[in-house]
């Protein structure tokens, strides 16, 4: 059933993209935005150590880039995977800019009041991982990507992804 649902979702994405590109159909774009934004935002939040403002900026940059590049999108992957790769690249660029800025201020972790302490500890442990480890950990353990897919997204070997995941999991366990 999950495979059929995924297939139907991809067909719907194609239809919406086609309508948006051919007629600049705002309703089609709005539907694409509604379908994918929640997952993209959660992914950006995790990569950016739960900095809501940076995640919102990344999300806006992602959609701007996606709209500009959409006519060249060739459907070799799902639209969601392509959008995730744009989010990832935007986050990397932000992290590079942040690293260049020597007086960068550490950001606060924004969490809802009802979040359990264990969950908060886990999120802090993930946020404290080095960028490469955190990216692989989030993509694999939280988003469900395979090592081959992660390798493709991050331009690393699948073996490197496995190794980084192993180190990330060990670091998370040690910090808990």
| pLDDT above 70: residue 20 | yes
Range scoring the smallest mean pLDDT among 59-63, 94-98, 120-124, 146-150: 120-124
To the question of pTM greater than 0.85 for the whole model, the response is no
Secondary structure of the chain: what % helix, strand, coil (to 5)? 75, 0, 25
Q: Which domains does the chain have, with CATH numbers?
A: 1-100 (1.10.1740.10), 111-176 (1.10.10.10)
Range scoring the smallest mean pLDDT among 51-60, 73-82, 99-108: 99-108
How many C-alpha atoms does 157 have within 13 Å on its Cβ side? 3
Return d(Cα 132, Cα 20) in angstroms, integer.
35
Residue-level pLDDT at 4 = 73
Residue-level pLDDT at 120 = 64
pLDDT band at residue 115 under the 50/70/90 scheme = very low
How many C-alpha atoms does 109 have within 13 Å on its Cβ side? 16
| pLDDT above 80: residue 83 | yes
Percent of the chain with pLDDT over 70: 86
Return d(Cα 29, Cα 49) in angstroms, integer.
29
What 8-state DSSP symbol labels residue 108? Answer: P
């Amino acid at each position: 059933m999950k495979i059929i649902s995924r297939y139907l979702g991809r067909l719907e994405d194609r239809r919406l993209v086609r309508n948006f590109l051919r007629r600049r159909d705002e309703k089609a774009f709005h539907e694409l935005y509604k379908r994918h934004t929640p997952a993209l935002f959660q992914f950006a939040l995790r990569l950016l150590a739960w900095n809501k403002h940076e995640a919102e900026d990344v999300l806006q940059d992602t959609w701007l880039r996606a709209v500009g590049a959409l006519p060249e999108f060739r459907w070799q992957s799902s639209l969601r995977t392509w959008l995730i790769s744009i989010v990832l690249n935007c986050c990397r660029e932000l992290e590079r800019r942040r690293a260049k800025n020597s007086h960068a201020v550490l950001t606060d972790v924004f969490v809802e009041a009802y979040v359990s302490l264990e969950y908060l500890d886990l999120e802090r442990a993930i946020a404290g991982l080095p960028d490469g480890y955190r990216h692989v950990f989030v993509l694999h353990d939280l988003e469900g990507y395979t090592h081959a897919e992660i390798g493709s997204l991050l331009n690393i070997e699948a073996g490197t992804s496995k190794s980084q995941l192993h180190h990330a999991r060990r670091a998370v366990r040690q910090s808990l």
